[in-house]
Chain A
């Protein structure tokens, strides 16, 4: 048994499981050590004509053969939408020129807003540009 105090955030996340909202997932993910790097990597590959790689492949390169699986994240968090959010928006923009989602802009706006509020300075500008194009804020 681990003698360290249990992490309260992880305990809540474990309880909420798949029901953890996108907003909370985004906040969790932004606390990840290489979140900025990952987003920059995804965005950096976008302009290449015909060279858009599924974000899962990029993630797999960074995190191992199991794809979007990070050992330091609770399981639900690893497989849920957080890590995919920025890449998903980016790829949708690249492919369709607009953000397409079954979820309403009203539902996504708080997610994007939360993401921008928590975004490190290094990639706030690219994200803001992305969100403007994505029409979710």
Chain B
């Protein structure tokens, strides 16, 4: 691999498998951390919505620990499902297994436990949390990349202009960025963030043509 994974967001679903199989320990740790940052909290919210009396965070922690297990990723690839739906199913089955174990430990049969129905609330809780964690993780990664390249001031410009609404004339000069160059700098930052999102959304089976529509959908999930 030409560039260390620690300098980038998960670049594509295909690269996950390559890192899982042949990556260095550091590359595996970095990729695992990135994926866990995106999916851990949504999975916790998802399982909490089932309202069972178990430590769902333990269930999610165990799942995240094997998120880069090659056989786990192979099974996901064969399923041809979006990664988050695959993770949700895995989390739900793991929760069911824990419940069964607990019932056996308590001496109760598990015949009554046919399945854990997935409620709309659970799906909504997951999707909302996923939309937030995805964009935050992408922005964290973008900021890290820029800072590692000595261009942290471009990230600051992006935040001050695009999020806080300050005019370039006000926020660019104090950062040492000429006003004329400011628009290009924020465009570069946006490009990095979009590239970061593309990697994960490819695993979610979002086609390039649907990329913008997916961002709109993610935004709408964050609306009250």
A residues neighboring B (CB under 8 Å):
1-2, 5-17, 19-21, 23-24, 27, 31, 69-75, 78, 118
Partner of B135 from A2, A11, A21 at Cβ < 8 Å: A11
Report the minimal beta-carbon distance from B72 to chain A, rounded to whole angstroms: 28
Contact residues in A for B220 (Cβ distance below 8 Å): 23-24, 27
Q: How far is the CB of B89 from chain A (nearest CB, A)?
A: 25
Instruction: Determine the distance from Cα of A118 to Cα of B223 in the docked complex, in whole angstroms.
Output: 10
Annotate B105-120 by CB proximity to A: 1 below 8 A, 0 otherwise: 0000000000000000
Which B residues fall within an 8 A CB radius of A? 131-132, 135-136, 139, 156, 158-159, 161-165, 190, 193-194, 197, 212, 215-216, 218-220, 222-224
15 of the cross-chain contacts (CB-CB < 8 Å) are A1-B156, A6-B139, A8-B136, A9-B222, A11-B136, A12-B131, A12-B218, A12-B219, A16-B219, A20-B216, A20-B219, A24-B219, A31-B224, A72-B165, A74-B165
User: Which one of B131, B163, B190, B219 lies within 8 Å of A6 (CB-CB)?
Assistant: B163
Give how many A-B residue pairs fall within 8 Å (CB-CB).
71
Contacts of A9 in B (CB 8 A): 219, 222-223
Which residues from B are CB-within-8-Å of A16? 212, 215-216, 219
Which of the residues B131, B132, B136, B194 comes within 8 Å of A15, measured between beta carbons?
Answer: B194
Minimum CB–CB distance from B216 to chain A (whole Å) comes to 6
Using Cβ atoms and an 8 Å threshold, which residues of chain A touch B194? Answer: 15
**B131, A71: Cβ atoms under 8 Å?**
no
Task: Name the residue in A15, A31, A73 with the highest tally of chain B Cβ atoms < 10 Å from its Cβ.
Answer: A15
**Cα–Cα, bound, A63→B128 (Å):** 32
A108 vs B125: C-alpha distance when bound (angstroms): 29
Q: Which of B162, B212, B216 contacts A14 (CB 8 A)?
A: B162
Q: Specify which chain B residues have a CB less than 8 angstroms from the CB of A78 in the assembled complex.
A: 165
- Contact partner of B163 (CB less than 8 A), chosen from A1, A7, A69, A70, is A7
Beyond contacts A14-B162, A24-B216: 11 other A-B pairs, Cβ-Cβ < 8 A, are A6-B163, A9-B222, A9-B223, A11-B135, A15-B190, A15-B193, A16-B216, A20-B219, A21-B216, A27-B220, A74-B162
Chain B residues lying within 8 Å of A6, measured Cβ to Cβ, are 136, 139, 159, 163
A83–B195 Cα distance when bound, in Å, is 30
